[in-house]
Amino acid sequence: MDLAVIWFIAISVLWIGYFVLEGFDFGVGTLMPFMGKRDSVDRRVAINSIGPVWDANEVWLITAGGATFAAFPAWYASLFSGFYVPLFIILVALILRGVAFEYRGKRDDSTWRLWWDRAIFFGSAAPALLWGVVFANVVRGVAMDGDQIVTASLADLFNPYALLGGLTTLSLFALHGAVFLSLKTDGPVRTRARAAALRTACVAVPAAAAFLLWTQLAHGPAWTWPLVALAALALVGGVAAARARREGTAFGLMVAAILAAVITLFGSLFPNVLPSTTDPAFSLTVENASSADYTLTIMTWVAVVFLPLVLLYQGWSYWVFRRRVTGATVTGETVTRGSGA
Amino acid sequence: MEALELARWQFGVTTIYHFLFVPLTIGLSFIVAVLQTVWYRTGRHEYLQATQFFGKLFLINFAMGVVTGIVQEFQFGMNWSEYSRFVGDVFGAPLAMEALLAFFLESTFIGLWIFGWHRLPRAAHLACIWLVAIGTNLSAYFILAANAWMRRPVGFEVNPENGRAELNDIWAVLSNDQAWSTYLHTVSAAFITAGLFVVCVSAYKLWRNQKHGDTGIRGVTPPKGDFALFRGTLKVGLVFTLVAGVIVAVSGDHQAKLAAQYEPMKLAAAEALWETEEGAAFSAFAVGDTEARYNPIDVTVPNILSFLATGEFDGEVHGMNNLQAAYEAEYGEGDYIPNVFVTYWSFRLMMGLGMAGVAIAAIGLWLTRGRDRTPSVHGRLTRWFYPLAVLALPAALSANIFGWVLTEMGRQPWTVHGYLLTAASVSPGVSLGTVALSLTGFTLIYGVLAVVEVGLLVKYIKAGPSHLVPDLEKDGDESKIPHFSY
């Protein structure tokens, strides 16, 4: 197969990894204020459920960005300069969120924690929404001239299709986070997370269904139809499993739903990487935006050797922290090595 | 004003800010790993305290380094789209490798280290902090190889069809002499910074103990153990600084020779040398006239510049006027002279402040020579040593910054030396207002976070280690080792 096509697939794999993993920690951050009162142990339980993993989850984004820079320089250049303002807001959000996780507990002061809670909420909800807006626009295409410079205004980026995309990712990640919380915590947070899952599902299921159908009808090739169906089934099945308190199954089905949805988006985009609505001839494609074969070959070897290794040790870290987080774990009451939660 | 100017300011502001945290992350990860190793090997309580105390400070700093780093990767595409388009094929590869090989390692194992105090066997937990240290150092290599390529572009060809730089030898990019030389220089400078951070904190604690006999918190007397601990860490910091100081000097000398070879204009500007000379003198203090292109005042040390640049006292060093003429002949009309004032003074401030930091460490090591001696047993000397040790940290941090200002400003007007001008690198589709928005936004948030970060560091330094780690020796219950959490 053509190396550029392989790298298109590799980059979609990185985005799948990012949305599956950071998707739930965005969701946890968004729902955290609803998991307990101000200053409560319950909020700490929610935050600590993603504590050991959120940072490595975010590296999937950095790797996707770096891989795009290396494999499709023109795509990276046009996309990042063309989506300047949404990316700027995402950066601000990620800065505040990362610092908030680390600093929130470092002062015993309820006003201090309240402000960091706000940062965690904004820092999680804003990127969850904006990634949907960005990806919907990428699939739909933007105004772009013959020099591959995006000429779309900020208002153009907030078109109905993109807003639906944003609503989809925001609600879907919230649902994903709720399911994760009910799987990874115990006590009152687990109960509230289940309730939150059922409530967010009322938005996420119709929004995702509408967005994926719109995507499929307007941009999708025939082969992504089964994926749309799979995403819908997995999503509905996930909600049903959450309702039936089968938390592990629910989480697995949510992962499947996000996976199928992201493949649908990338499948609908292919062979373009950034279509131009000004003139289809100006579109950036897998062929005209990619690096030369030498770079792609080197990158392929690096990815083949190191990506499995990353999956191995990242998977191990999830195994180490497999136990449910409870109020007692975060306050350190019953912690003993080897037997503690 | 144009978007280009603001984009440059944004790159300067965000990069300088990012690099306040990076050297501490690189060096402190190593120092904390060493402290924890000693605890692992000896089981001595004060090393556990030192590990957790400096570990906390390390984490407060680490968070800032991580989040400001994401901005760095994104802004190449956001503000410098034409640069990205031209270099992506070559420059993107080390960036992607950095993420895949280093960032995943660092971020996964930092999570395991923070939350794994009671969940991992001791040896595995110790391995985590070592993997974090290896990850940070690996990441430094890839990003510096990318930066070195901009100063000495190798291993590529410009494709005449699409006008882009295309990689044809990745090994040349990774083994670039500019890359490993810059790596040695930058990482040893990072070790100096982290060493002086430990010196600064330890000296401050000893100073307060001596001056007030308290911990900095009203009414709380320091446990006796704190005293022994900070004597120990002071020494650890001093030794780290001095060893790294030797490497920084040797690699710095090599950097000057590489500049003479690959970036003669930068060296000439750093020395305010207008005319090509044999046996060129090192300028100690100059006032230049950049319009008329000469120095009305110049205090010099004969032959030293030639020696630094070529290894021979009468070697030839190119001057800016000669280079300007040569560049015009090669690249066409234009101004190829960087901002001489900034380049000249950042060079001097980098060297001066860096040397001052290392000198303070040397003095400290002399004062604490022999067994168990601290400056406090040296009577009057202590009065000036403690504040000096505290000031050594800002000196080192500033030296790092001036080093980067010299590197980046001295490379102007180029982004990729000889191939791409900065003016041709900026994003054509991004307006002045948009860059103004992000520049203002980042500056404000970075400013607020700086205040918050320093406040937290001070709080934890004042609280001290015994506040963090109870005395385990009394009851010997390992489960009382505090675990970190959010």
Residue B376 belongs to some domain of the structure:
no
Which residue from A minimizes the CA distance to B114? A52
Q: Are B310 and B260 in contact (CB under 8 A)?
A: yes
**Is residue B396 within 8 Å of B192, Cβ to Cβ?**
yes
pLDDT score, position A256: 97
Same domain, B329 and B470: no
Residues 190-219 of B with CB under 8 A from A: none
Query: For the segment B306-317, what is each residue's pLDDT rounded down to a tens digit?
Result: 888 888 888 889
The two three-digit tokens of residue B443, written as one number: 């500056």
Give the CA diameter of chain A.
65
B321 falls within a domain: yes
Contact criterion met (CB < 8 Å) for A72 and B479: no
The yes-or-no verdict on residue B375 having pLDDT over 70 is no
Look up tokens 């590489």; give the residue.
B258
Structure tokens at A262: 């992201």
Please tell me if residue B168 touches chain A, with a CB cutoff of 8 Å: yes
B63, B81, B482: residue with CB nearest A81: B81
**Are B60 and B101 in a shared domain?**
yes
State whether B296 and B246 are in the same domain: no
Tell me which of B312, B337, B362 is where a domain ends: B337
- The domain in which residue B318 lies consists of 264-337
Residues B190 and B207 both lie in one domain:
yes
Q: What is the pLDDT of residue A340?
A: 31
At a CB cut-off of 8 Å and minimum separation 6, what does A305 contact?
none
B415 occurs within a structural domain: no
- Stretches where chain A sits below pLDDT 70 are 1, 332-341
**Predicted confidence (pLDDT) per residue in A69-128, tens digit:** 999 999 999 999 999 999 999 999 999 999 999 999 989 899 999 999 999 999 999 999
With 80 as the cut, is the pLDDT of residue B369 above it?
A: no
Q: Are residues B197 and B311 in the same domain?
A: no
Whether residues B246 and B279 fall in one domain: no
Within A72-159, residue ranges assigned H as helices are: 73-82, 84-103, 110-140, 154-157
d(CA B162, CA A13): 28
Answer yes or no: do B198 and B314 share one domain: no
Chain A residue numbers with beta carbons less than 8 Å from the beta carbon of B168 are 294
Query: Which residues on chain B are in Cβ contact (under 8 Å) with A84?
Result: 78, 427, 430, 434, 438
Q: How far is B255 from chain A (nearest CA, A)?
A: 28
> Roughly what angle, to the nearest 10 degrees, separates helices B432-463 and B45-79?
180
* B65-93 confidence digits (pLDDT tens): 999 999 999 999 999 999 999 999 999 99
Q: Within its chain, how far is the Cα of A293 from the centroid? A: 30
User: B156-188: b or e for each residue (b if 16 or more CB lie within 10 Å)?
Assistant: beeeeeeebbbbbebeebbebebbbbbbbbbbb
Let me know if residue B410 belongs to a domain. Answer: no
Per 3-state DSSP, what percentage of chain B is helix, strand, and coil (rounded to 5)?
75, 5, 20
Peptide bond into A86 cis (omega under 30): no
Question: Is the distance from CB of B222 to CB of B466 less than 8 angstroms?
Answer: yes
**CA A142, CA A157: separation in Å to the nearest integer?**
8
Q: Print burial letters for B32-59: b (CB count within 10 Å at least 16), e (below 16).
A: bbbbbebbeeeeebbbbbbbbbbbbbbb
SS (H, E, C) B355-422: HHHHHHHHHHHHHCCCCCCCHHHHCCHHHHHHHHHHHHHHHHHHHHHHHHHHHHHHCCCEEECCCEEH
Q: What is the pLDDT of residue A333?
A: 52
Judge if B215 and B297 occupy the same domain: no
Domain boundary residue, one of B288, B309, B337: B337
B371 found inside a domain = no
Contact of B87 with chain A, judged by CB distance below 8 Å, is answered with yes
Query: How far apart, in Å, are the Cα atoms of B361 and each of B184, B185, B200?
Result: 20, 18, 10
Pairing of strands B277-278, B316-317: antiparallel
The reply to whether B191 and B58 lie within a common domain is yes
Supply the DSSP string of B19-40, one letter for each residue: HHHHHHHHHHHHHHHHHHHHHH
* Domain match, B443 and B467 both: yes
User: What pLDDT score does A335 carry?
Assistant: 41
Would you state the pLDDT for residue B225? 61
Cβ A210 vs Cβ A172: under 8 Å: no
Three-class DSSP category at B284: strand
Interface confidence (ipTM) of the complex: 0.91
How close does chain A come to B54, measured CA to CA in Å? 15
Name the token pair of B55: 């570990």
Whether B95 sits inside 8 A of A70 (CB atoms) is yes
Per the listing, tokens 């300047």 go with A84
| Residues A54/A22, Cβ–Cβ less than 8 Å | yes
Q: How many domains does the structure of chain B reveal?
A: 2
CA distances from B479 to A323, B188, B469, B484 (A): 18, 37, 12, 13
Which residues share a beta bridge with B294? B289
Note whether B286 and B344 are within 8 A (CB): yes
Is B236 a domain residue? yes
Given B284, B316, B337, the domain boundary residue is B337
Domain-embedded: residue B467 = yes
pLDDT at B226: 76
Beta strands in B29-105 (DSSP E): none
In chain A, residues with a C-beta closer than 8 Å to the C-beta of B21 are none
Which residues does chain B have within 8 Å of residue A320's beta carbon, measured at their own beta carbons? 112, 116, 119-120
Q: Is B331 exposed, middle or buried (0-12, 13-18, 19+ CB in 10 A)?
A: middle
B18 & B151 share domain: yes
Residues B268 and B123 both lie in one domain? no
Position B226, amino acid? D
pLDDT at residue A334, as a whole number: 44
Res B289: pLDDT: 82
Between CA B91 and CA B364 the distance in angstroms is 42
Q: How confident is the model at residue B232 (pLDDT cuts 50, 70, 90)?
A: confident
Whether residue B303 is contained in a domain is answered as yes
Residue of B nearest to A62 (CA): B99
Stretch B19-47: mean pLDDT: 94
